[in-house]
Structure 1
């Protein structure tokens, strides 16, 4: 048996485990919006986001401490601040504010443009020049999402839609910078240290928000909080970055194409939402556009 033959089974196992980990991350992410809606039954939007970040940071800190992970070099902290501002604070806050007026299914379609937005920002950040096919599909996907949001909003964009578009930008920036850092440190270290970096701000925010916003604890509200903290923010990003490290960013991003449709399913099953005919059509349209960009990038 040659060295190449003996390496093949190991490589195959690595690809399979990486795909499974990345897929688990997508499932965890797809539950974020329904869980946030549940969490809003017990907490105000600012309290929910702040407490969520604190709990996730405590979980991440426990893992980093138990595994004796060294503190990142000083040159990486600026990038970690971008990840924290986009993924830990910005995206959760803006989507939580949006979900006060938007349904989970509506938000899922709009945020379905996230992989494409990330690809665009990554192209700008790295200086790579994607093909014309890529840019045509990116523009088409943007048009589909804007048309859907305008149609669902009665001809105008509401505050919830503006929050969602802002969330796209800050999260894409966080993903892009996190992907860059993941080339020099394990991906889960990136989100772990980003959470720790945001801990002082999120702890102070929790104290202030809980002082001003009422809290009405319910089973669904507490479950929603625990999931977005431990499930979406830490576990989801942990397995996502681990899987992405094993199978590569391009292959992992294709798995994320299923996230909007999964969220639509959870919105119906867990929240009892009724989908408009335009929602699944727009979701499929966005997925097709993103799939074209992935093939064009490859």
Structure 2
């Protein structure tokens, strides 16, 4: 057996560096997305102390990301999508630019960011389920068992929280909104994935935001708040517009490309824990053992489910 040449060694080292960089970029992207929950709650405020309206946060963040996307697409001289690519882009707009942030914003007015982190921890599993249904990808029975188990854990958590808050054993409207947000995001991800190979991963989110701009920009200007808004709410709004809706995807998609989608996508399992930890300094939420325990249990079903998919 011959020893590897210098060129081969250099290639191996370069590949290892790319994989390591990709992994860290994936972690960065997940951390950026995780802060979306407490940042959105900062932006909208609570039902008792409202700040920016959920509709304004939704269209405003998409408009801000759309303006940044226009600059990026012009600077990189990106070609326009082809005719058959506009439909999945439009569906991605409805799922990722409108549905997910709007439902999330309304839910976070009545539940904590830590609570939302447990429900949205189902996102990877729901995305895989949508992929199996929409893209006709086969999944083993064990995957669907994990999907049902994870969903049951989320329902149990929501019922327990409702009972602890004196609402009885029943799902709150916010929990239904969070489930809707997860489904909307999953559909948007799958539709965006259809055109990613042709358009390029980083450009997909730019075209999604730019496609929505003719609606989101006038709507944001029309819904501009007339009442005074706290500086912290504006800070949360800027974060979800610049980072959650735009820059986070650059780190995430680049990480997937460098480190490999199979390996880097596992970092998504850290997202609920990042959200819970970020809510402590940003919102003053306590580190609740029950919430953390349910988050661990839901993530465990996601881990097992992805292995069985």
Q: Same fold (TM over 0.5)?
A: yes
- Counterpart position of 1:58: 67
CA distance in 2, matches of 1:147, 1:275: 19
CA distance in 1, matches of 2:220, 2:65: 13
Contact 1:118-1:173 within 8 A present in 2 as well: yes
CA distance in 1, matches of 2:223, 2:159: 32
- The count of corresponding residues between Structure 1 and Structure 2 is 295
- Counterpart position of 2:139: 130
- Counterpart position of 1:186: 200
Contact 2:56-2:220 within 8 A present in 1 as well: yes
Residue segments in structure 1 that go unaligned for 5+ positions in a row:
none
- Counterpart position of 2:291: 279
2:175 is matched with which residue: 147, 161, 164?
A: 161
Superposition CA RMSD, Å: 1.6
Contact 2:19-2:259 within 8 A present in 1 as well: yes
CA distance in 1, matches of 2:57, 2:26: 26
CA distance in 1, matches of 2:123, 2:111: 17
1:76 is matched with which residue: 71, 80, 85?
A: 85
Work out whether 1:15 is the aligned partner of 2:19. Answer: yes
- Counterpart position of 1:30: 34
Contact 1:21-1:239 within 8 A present in 2 as well: yes
CA distance in 2, matches of 1:276, 1:214: 37
Residue segments in structure 2 that go unaligned for 5+ positions in a row:
46-50, 164-168
Contact 2:66-2:209 within 8 A present in 1 as well: yes
- Counterpart position of 1:148: 157
Contact 2:19-2:260 within 8 A present in 1 as well: no
Query: Larger Cα Rg: Structure 1 or Structure 2?
Result: 2
CA distance in 1, matches of 2:258, 2:132: 22
Deviations 1:149-208 (A, max 9, x none): 121122111111111010011100011122222222211100000000011111232133
